[in-house]
Structures are given as C-alpha cells and as structure tokens.
Structure 1
Amino acid sequence: MSNLILQCKRLKDAAKLLGIADTKKKNKALYYVAKQLRASRDIIIAENEKDVRNAREAGMKESLIDRLRLDENRIEDMIEGIETIIDLRDPIWNSNRVWTLENGLTISKMTVPMGVIGIIYESRPNVTIDAFALALKSGNCILLRGSSTSIHSNRALVNAVKEGLKASRLPEDVIGFIDDVDRSVVMEMLTLNEYIDLIIPRGGNELIQFVIKNATVPTIETGVGNCHVYIDESANLEKAIKIAENAKMQRPGVCNACETILVNEKVARDFLPLLYQSFDGKVEMRGCEKTRKVIPVNRAGEEDWFEEYLDYTVAIKVVEDIKEAIEHIDKYGTKHSEAIVTEQLEHANLFLRQVDAAAVYVNASTRFTDGGQFGFGAEMGISTQKIHARGPIGLEELVTVKYTIVGNGQIRE
C-alpha cells in the first residue's frame, strides 16, 4: 500500500469526525491555527526565501515570483482570512427547503460536507492556508499537493497548521500534505475515488488540462484568466485609466489581471495616448493596426488575443462598438472576469447580461475577483464552469446535499 493511500485512509477516517464537528469546535481549531501562524512567521518567511531564491536562479519571471513570495503582510492577510472564515456562517447542516407530502413524510434538503477534498496547485503558498481553512470550516478534510517551486514554504505552513491543531479538539489528520514532487504521485491522486471525493486544480492551463484529462475523481475546473476591460464610447476617461492601470499593473501575475483592453473607436484618439502615458514604458503594449495609428506600440498578432500573459504585457484592440467588444470577448475570453467602463446604463446592462463569464464588472477593476475581496475570507480558486460552483470557490461551494426523510411507518403502495 502506497504512502499516499495510507495518508488518504487517515484523511477519510478524520472526515467522519470532522463532518459532525460543531461550529464552536471548528472555529476553535481555526483560532489556534491562526495563532500558530503568527508564532511561526519568521520560520515561514525564512523557508519561503529559499523558494524565491531557487525560482530566481531557475529563471522564473518576476511577476510569477511575486505570486510565490511571502512576507509579514501576506502572512497577516492569510491570518485575517482565517478570522473572516471563523466569523462566517457554518455552511453545514443547513436547509433551504423542508416540505411534507400528503402521506405525512417530511423531507429536508440538508447541506453536508463533500468529505475529502484534494487540491493541486502551483507556486502560490497562500493557497495552503486558504484551502485548509475553507475545508475545515465546511467540514471537509483537505489533501494538499503544491508545486516543487513552493515546497519549502508549504512544508513550513503545514507544520504550523498541525502545531495549531494540536491545541484543538480536532485530529491533525484533517490535513494531508504530499511532500513528494514526483508527477506520478499526482496521477495516483487523480484516481483515488475510494478516498477522495473532489479534486480542484489551481494553476496554469497545462496543469488544469492535465487534471481534467486524467482524473477519475470528480473535479471543479478553475480557469485561466484572459480578462478584458472594454472602454465604452461614453466612458469617463479618467476613471477608465485608473481601472485599466489597476487591472493590468497592480499584480500582473495573477489570473484576474487584465490581459486585453478593448477601446471604442469613438474615444480611441483621446484614450490611447492617456493609457500610453499611464503605462509609462512599464508595460509592453501590443496593438491592432488601428491602435498603432494612434500610439507607437508593437503589433498584436492573432495569438495575442488568446494569451494569458501573467506579466507586464497587454494587448489592445480598437472596436467599432459594444457589440464587437462582446463578440471579441466571446471568442477569446476564458469566462473568468470581464469589465466595461461606461456611463450609459443601457450599455452596462447589455454587458452584464450578454457577457458569459464568472464575474462581470461595470466601472470596476477585474482585480476584485477574489474570495477575500468578495467577503469569503479566502477561496479554493476561481471556477469558470457552469456548475454549482462558479466564480470564487468559498464555503458554500464546498458542500453537497443530503435529503433526510422522516416518517411514521409509511410504506409505498
């Protein structure tokens, strides 16, 4: 029996206890974990510095190293996420529907944990804590498999979690961590239907497609982010510049960063020079021919409209109207996050209704598509599927349902 199966058996056993744990017990465990994270801050940062150094030596681009890096502020953000989750309503054993049939049977639709959730993720060590905290509050055990680039950080974080759990009344086996970076272990994980109830991949397109194509365990597909900002003909240009700059530059290496800016041709001559000045050479701009007639930028090819750069690069296309903007998003977007900057209510409503994405914004940056920003405390990832989980995956997306039926001796005729 492999080490992975042994670990999964322990998770499965722990899930039976966690699934019926009361809210107070779960919150207390989260409290102790948050406390231990603060106490372990120096160790975590020191271990993270090893990963950052290795990534830089391996030639990882700086925008992706930014996703890997942990500092005191980011650790505090993780702790604040746990504290938010503690304050949220327990999603387990709730019902939004109870009814009684003519024969006297009372049926309740109750929320229950999934059981054991596996998450496979790249680079970002904060996912270790986000995934654990959401899983525990929703009554699920969690099996973590991070990437080799963040192995030192993840080990330190999991150790802190386990130390925190020792002070609680919950077993340490509610969390599992795959320390082996060999890809064959991932293949084994993807087919352990007997032990794992759900798998969530979080990372680049290659990882997500690998999981989707090879998993026999049910999966929630998180999506890559080819996100757009459309500058409408009625846009307030000062507002538009701030939104475009934030969506592209605030953290370019994350999935909710803007990768393409669409500009209505009626405002292109006014807006594009302002955008060029705003980016100030810090962003490589690749434009269509109409864009290049207004500002001196590199030529955008067909491949640029599909690209998730995750870097200081942006594609720019001048469009005739909102209809062409929506058609472009339909063709090239990844159904993640899309934004319109407009002062026309009719155009705002049209964009909201017709754009097919998990998150659609009017006059706001796409950077808000985030579990923490939405008030969920954290997220497992951003789902772009059209299933019960779409957008940031928080507590309510990590439960399933059980129908309970109470009778008094009824039998079916």
Structure 2
Amino acid sequence: MGKLSNTEPWLKTFRNLVRKTTAEDWWIVKSGNRIRLQVPGVGSKVLPYDWSEEGAAHALPRIQQIFKRWADGNITLAEAAQTADTSSSKQQLNFDELIESYRKFVPNAGDKTWKKNYLPVLRNCRDKFKGTPPRDGEILCMGCLEQWEQGSRSRQISRQKLYGFLTWAVQRGHLKTIYLPPTSLPEVRKAKRVGYAISDVEILRLLEGMPDPRWQFAVQLCSVYGLRPEELRWLRIKNGAKGSELWTIYQKSMGGRKGDKTEPRRLLPLLVRDLDGSSIDWKLQARLQVGEKLPPLQSDGDGAQALRNYLRRREVWRSLKTEALNTGEQLTTYSFRHRYAKASHAAGLPVANIAEAMGHTIEVHLGSYARFKPDATADLYAQVNA
C-alpha cells in the first residue's frame, strides 16, 4: 500500500489512483520541490514533476508505467523508470552525453576510428532529433546515411556503426523501440570492384620508374610477403625455432564479431620472378635486420594512404592503372597483396595455408580470392586438346 509523507488534501486521491495500478509498498515523498517515488528496500526515483496537485496529475501516468514495467520482474526499478521516461512524449535527450556514453561501450575503437567512422553518423542521428523527431527507425536511418553514396564502402561502415548505436540506445531505454534499426534499407547495391593482381613483370616495370629506394623497398616487401600496406609500419624480427623470422604484429578488426582482431603472424616470402622465370631474392628480411629505412609512413596510422599518395605521382603507376581498367579491374595499393594470393594458388598451395600466410580466415580468403583457384573445368578441356 502506498504511503505519503504529509497530509496535503490531493495526496489521498493520488494514492488511491496509484493503488489501482500496483499492490507494491511505496512512498511518495517530497524531494526539493519535486515528487520522489520510493519503494522500501528497492530504490527510488525523482520524477520531473512539481510537488503540487497539478504535478501529481502529470506524475500519475508515469508512475503507473513504471510499476507496469517493473511488475514482470525482468528489470530493476531503475530500468523500469528509464524505459518509462523513454516512452514519455516529453522525453528530453541530451545526445552529446548519449554519444559519450556509447564511446565507453566501444573501447576497442581507436580515437582515429571513432572520429572517422562513428562520430559523423552519430552526429547526424543527433541532428535528426532536433525539432520534430523521426517517425521510425527506417526514416531515421535513411536520413542519417543520406550523405554517403549508396552501395559505397563508407556508407556500409556508417550504417554498421549507426545500427550498433541505435540497438544499444533502445536496449538501455534511451530511445523508444520504434527507433530500432530496420533489418534492411531500400538502397542500390554497388557492384564490388575486382581488385587487380599485379604481375611480376609489372612490378619490375614499376620499380624501374620509382627513383626513391625507400619506396622501392616498400613495394618489394608488399609484393613478396603479400602485405596490407598498413602492415609496413608493424614489421618486426623475432627469434624462431630455426633462426630469425619476419613478423607483422599489426592487428585489425575481424568484422562481425565485436572486439575480435586478427593475430600477429609470421611472414612467408613468395619471390617475384624475372622475365625468364628465375626467382629474384631481394634479401628483404636481412635488409630490415641491418636497419634499412622504409619511406615516411604516417605514425598515426594509414600506410595505405601514404603509399597511395606516392604511387599516384608515378607515371608508370598511372599507366598500369589504365591497363587494369581495360580488363575491368582496378589497380590499388592492395594489388601487391592480390599478386601474392594469385601466385600462391598458381603454385598449388592449399587454401588453408594461403589464408594462414595472409592473415585471414578461409571464409574471408575465398570471398576475395576464389577466382584465383585452379579452374578444374578449363584443365579438363586442356587435357582433351592435348
């Protein structure tokens, strides 16, 4: 039964109205000039209503909603109060504080990733609640993502971050359930570009057109070890069972699983061959061991951008890029890594071992490089012709 802290005439009527909602033992007390709902042994909640008859009239439906949500025993009184606040048409959100709270929920996102991939779309979300709130989650998401091209990678990343934020905010009662992200958005899917696997002959052409030996060294490393360009900043020499080994200690998100990252891995060379098919040993590991310098790579993290900026100024790179486009493929800084995958398959190495050497799962490998697997059908026809 509800209890009151003093004897204002309206309190008795207020108590009787609430008693129709719950049999819980509760108190209504004055907190400053506000109404506080207090349940002995459980907790209390200050309500945003004045200690007056008018304030009580406004507080009644809110208290009824709190007890209604708390009655099934699945959530605490505080959580029930939070979800009741969310359901209120007078809900006031401080989105900057909400975004800051979410930042603590995703500690694995580095500062650069947070600023680049999270903040732009979350601030768009904040702005959509200025004035008349969006009708539902689909309308909200479409508005938040409007600035990114449909089907683009940047839109895909922004959508992923927005969906995670909205799900988190709804589950914790900060936003109404109508703002849960939709299972799908009506949008055009952009065809995935086909990455060009640069050939060994083209690598040699490129190196001839690169006057800076430091950048030549970087291209040689990416080609021979199948590196992601960012991994150039994370190369280390370790003592292995059979002597010195070259490793990359770079870790990247595995995608789809919160907090999971790729493991550091030992790098295994696949030598570039010259025109007559002879392997070229550039002694890359030994050169790293004696301290040969790599080119300047941004210390705050984008080796791919640094390499891209250098290559786009090379005439031979621009020429190779045009040749790749004529085949319907795109030459990028990952083309050296694609070369490693293609050459590994051509050598008949097992898929599991190629994936391990490249630092990703078999599923990820086949999603990107299945086209390099030997074509059994073509082989059969070749045998017939022979």
Q: Quick check: TM above 0.5?
A: no
> TM-score with structure 2 length normalisation?
0.24
> TM-score with structure 1 length normalisation?
0.22
Greater RCO (Cα-Cα under 8 Å, separation 6 or more)? 1
> Which of the pair is proportionally richer in helix?
2
> Which of the pair is proportionally richer in strand?
1
